Amino acid sequence: MSAHYLVDVFGNPLFPLSVPILDSREPTAGQSLTNGAMVVRVPDYVQVIRPADLNDLLTQKYGGLLAFYAGFGNIAYDDLIDPTHIDLTTSTRVRAGKRNTVCVAYDGYLQSMPYSLPWAGPGVGPTVAIITWELFDQPSTDPATGLLQRTYQEQTPGAFLAEVSFDNGAHWNAVIDQGVFNIPVGHQGTDFIIRFHNWSPTGGSEHWLGSWAVVY
């Protein structure tokens, strides 16, 4: 299970993320009617308590994610509220806008900009990390005699192939969602990049990327 927080998609200005939260829901089979709102998904193992606004919600979500993985002391993430940290030059077949509208078409690639990971040692960078990401779809119905309804539908993270680099793209390694990744010697560093490939040997369709995080 997870929780879906419905955020005012029309709240302005979007930054500094002080837009209000309209509702929270326990989704049925991973889906919720959005009713014109933006959905922020919180995993069931992360505790969030009465967030005041979007900024507070994200702070609690990613702080809780770090707390869940005992033994790790740092987290970096992109909530993809806007495309600032997406490398749009390298990415292909991507639609990237604000307010959770980052979509990757089938056989498309999305690559992040390099992210400098805070690291106090020992060594040149972390040796172990956990990478996680969220995917969703937005199916809609528009009956001739009714209202258009759009749904947030969670998708399995495995619908995207993911690779990470800790040395600014010099070496790449495949990772799985929430798997413990032992960073090979010679591939370690603090210049982190993640890239996703929307691909399957049996074909597929477009999916939206909700967020990614690296715990280290």
In contact, 129 and 74? CB cutoff 8 Å: no
pLDDT attached to residue 194: 98
Q: Which of 29-33, 125-129, 174-178 is predicted with the least confidence, judged by mean pLDDT?
A: 29-33
pLDDT of residue 47: 94
Report pLDDT for 15: 63
Residue type, 205: S
Q: Is pLDDT above 70 for 190?
A: yes
Query: Does residue 168 carry a pLDDT above 90?
Result: yes
Entry pTM: 0.91
Q: Classify 63 in phi/psi space as left (phi over 0), alpha (psi -120 to 50) or beta.
A: alpha
Beta strand segments in the chain, E: 2-7, 21-25, 31-33, 38-43, 75-78, 92-95, 103-111, 115-116, 128-137, 140-141, 149-155, 160-165, 173-175, 180-182, 191-198, 207-215
Predicted local distance difference test score (pLDDT) of residue 202 = 77
pLDDT in tens, 196-212: 999 987 778 999 999 99
The one-letter amino acid at 114: P
Buried b (16+ CB within 10 A) or exposed e, 77-103: bbbbbbbeebbeeebeebebeebbbbb
pLDDT bin (cut points 50, 70, 90) of residue 115 is very high
What would the mean pLDDT of 77-96 be, rounded to a whole number? 94
